[in-house]
């Protein structure tokens, strides 16, 4: 579980969210640029969590979709699990 929590994708998404939260503390108005930054952060977080889920499924031997970046490594992860 530790390898998933400390993955670079999740860490960068969390630090990006912290940066956005700090920007909200200032008395700046909420503009369309701020809305786009939050949308971008949400997409980044969703992709990072999706990569973690795909990696976990691949390590357990379950089939993952072909559009996942982990699908190419699925056979390698399965062999590592079996040994």
H helix intervals, 28-83: 32-59, 74-82
Q: Supply the pLDDT for residue 41.
A: 93
pLDDT digits (tens, 9 = 90+) for 26-78: 877 888 998 999 999 999 999 888 888 888 887 777 777 777 777 777 767 66
pLDDT at 83 over 60: yes
Q: Supply the pLDDT for residue 3.
A: 61
Q: Supply the pLDDT for residue 54.
A: 81
Residues 6+ apart with CB under 8 A from 80: 59
Give the count of beta carbons closer than 10 Å to the beta carbon of residue 13: 20
Q: Supply the pLDDT for residue 2.
A: 60
pLDDT at 10 over 70: yes
């Amino acid at each position: 579980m530790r390898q998933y929590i400390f993955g670079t994708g999740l860490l960068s998404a969390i630090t990006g969210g912290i940066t956005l939260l700090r920007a909200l503390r200032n008395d700046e108005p909420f503009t369309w640029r701020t809305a786009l930054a939050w949308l971008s952060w949400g997409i980044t977080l969703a992709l990072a969590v999706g990569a973690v889920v795909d990696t976990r499924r691949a390590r357990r031997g379950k089939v993952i979709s072909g559009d996942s970046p982990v699908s190419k490594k699925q056979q390698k992860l399965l062999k590592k699990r079996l040994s």
